[in-house]
Amino acid sequence: MQPVRRFAALFIATLLVVPAFASRDQPVIGLSLDTLKEERWQRDRDLFVAEAEKLGAKVIVQAANSDDTRQNRDIESLISRGVDVLVVAPHNGAALSRAMKSAKEAGIPVISYDRLILNSDIALYLTFDNVKVGELQARWVLDRWPADKPLRIVRIYGAPTDNNAKLFKQGQDNLLAPLIKSGRVTVVAEDWALDWKPENAKKIMNAAITRSGHAFDAVLAANDGTAGGAIQALLEEGLAGKVLVTGQDADLPACQRIMRGTQSMTVFKPVARLAMLASRTAVAVARGEKPAGTSTLDNGFKAVPCLFEEIVSVDQTNMMETVVAAGFHPADKLK
Ligand code: BGC
């Protein structure tokens, strides 16, 4: 290349590179959420955005209202708006291949948030130990039931489209399967609550009551929303507080039910820690850092680097030293 032409080429290349560096100083993050229905996701969003803004980034948030077509469209639109990095909590981990392909073509790294995106080339997965969530739910019930007494359970799983829901079930199965086999535990009824909706959980609970009368001792509800739906059905039958009910998320209404005795336990997932970690990681990735995990999970495409946040089982006995001490809910709201 002639020196002048080489200089011109370098000058043009510099011009092309400048906006990219500018956007790394003030990165733009696309946050695509499945839903904002449950209390936890609003908290995730607020903390994520606040932390990113503190670090000088801008966040564009989309929520797909449990609709896969819409979430693919949301992500395509974030890509066309020139985001530097995508953080995605999928409605259906297996239904985002089109948008993931577009992100890859545009060279935009994707961080999977709380739920794993399947069969795609993603950079990192940040989550809680979801198998352990299911184990804590089953452990809590088993620990409170006399070892020589048969235990009859109703199992309300989460959304069949959510990979986490399968992991929660897997965690419960780790403890329950041998006991079901030995006959100590009987599953009276079981079903998946579509889109995690409390009203679907209520229908499952109503059907279980119609079929088995009051012949069950515990309801393993996968999260606080589904626990709320089940407890509504139990209330109508005068059974609330008389059977054990599990949950997850430490939502305010669930913590209130625990203190009043209609729900037995929840699993506290410190969403603040996950949201801040995701926010800081997203900003770092946008600024060119390569994300690293402490372990990996196979998403069907590759071994995805993962980071897990800790979780804890919560009931009346430790509500104050966990949920309240962490500033998740103030004590006076739990009366
Ligand atoms: C999350 C839970 C949440 C559920 C329903 C799951 O993927 O891990 O925390 O309760 O979705 O939104």
Q: How confident is the model at residue 23 (pLDDT cuts 50, 70, 90)?
A: low
Query: 81 and 31, same structural domain?
Result: yes
Is 10 a residue whose pLDDT tops 50?
no
pLDDT of residue 13 exceeding 50, the answer is: no
Tens of pLDDT, residues 121-160: 999 999 999 999 999 999 999 999 998 999 999 999 999 9
Please check whether residue 257 is in contact with residue 30, taking contact to mean a CB–CB distance below 8 angstroms.
no
pLDDT higher than threshold 70 for residue 284: yes
| One domain for residues 196 and 136 | yes
65 in the same domain as 35: yes
Query: What's the CA-to-centroid distance between 5 and ligand 1, angstroms?
Result: 57
pLDDT band, residue 225 (cuts 50/70/90): very high
Q: Enter the pTM of the model.
A: 0.91
- The rounded distance, in Å, linking the Cα atoms of 267 and 89 is 19
pLDDT tens-digit map of 249-266: 999 999 999 999 999 999
**Average pLDDT of 224-250?**
97
Ligand 1 pocket member 92 (CB < 6 A): no
Looking at the structure, do residues 185 and 323 belong to the same domain, yes or no? yes
216 pocket-lining for ligand 1 (C-beta < 6 Å): no
Task: Determine if ligand 1 sits within 6 Å of the CB of residue 40.
Answer: yes
* 136, 48: one domain: no
Report the alpha-carbon distance of residue 246 to residue 240 in Å, rounded. Answer: 13
Mean pLDDT of 201-221: 96
Listed in sequence order, the residues at least 6 apart from 291 whose beta carbon sits closer than 8 Å to its beta carbon are 109, 111, 123, 124, 281, 284, 285, 305
The answer, yes or no, to whether residue 21 has pLDDT greater than 60, is no
319 and 290 assigned to the same domain: no
| CATH number of the domain to which 78 belongs | 3.40.50.2300
Q: Is the CB of 309 under 6 A from ligand 1?
A: no
Ligand 1 close to Cβ of residue 268 (< 6 A): no
Q: Indicate whether 81 pLDDT > 50.
A: yes
Looking at residue 12, its pLDDT comes to 42
User: Is 50 exceeded by the pLDDT of residue 101?
Assistant: yes
**b/e sequence 77-109, b meaning 16+ C-beta within 10 Å:** ebbeeebbbbbbbbbbbbbbeebbebbeeeebb
Task: Give the model's pLDDT for residue 24.
Answer: 75
Same domain, 293 and 202: no
Q: Is the pLDDT of residue 42 over 80?
A: yes
Q: Rounded to the nearest whole angstrom, what is the distance from the C-alpha of residue 235 to the centroid of ligand 1?
A: 24
Q: Are residues 104 and 167 in the same domain?
A: no
What's the domain count of the chain?
Answer: 2
User: DSSP letters of 142-204?
Assistant: HHTS-TTS-EEEEEEE--TT-HHHHHHHHHHHHHHHHHHHHTSEEEEEEEE-GGG-HHHHHHH
Residue 12 buriedness (CB in 10 A; 0-12 / 13-18 / 19+): exposed
Predicted local distance difference test score (pLDDT) of residue 25:
81
- Whether residue 263 sits in one domain with residue 183: yes
- Same domain flag for 135 and 120: no
Calculate the average pLDDT of the chain: 93
- Shared-domain flag, residues 119 and 191: no
Same domain, 326 and 200: yes
Q: DSSP secondary-structure letter at 322?
A: I
Instruction: Quick: pLDDT tens for 161-177.
Output: 999 999 999 999 999 99
Q: How far is the CA of 201 from the centre of ligand 1 (A)?
A: 14
Given a cut of 80, whether residue 5 has pLDDT beyond it is no
* 223 CA distance to ligand 1 middle (Å): 7
196 vs 23, which has greater pLDDT? 196
Question: What proportion of the chain, given as a percentage, has pLDDT over 90?
Answer: 90
Q: Is the CB of 196 under 6 A from ligand 1?
A: yes
Domain encompassing residue 162: 130-269+313-333
Q: Confirm or reject: Cβ of 162 under 6 Å from ligand 1.
A: yes
Give the CA-trace dihedral at 31, 62, 229, 315, to 10 degrees: 30
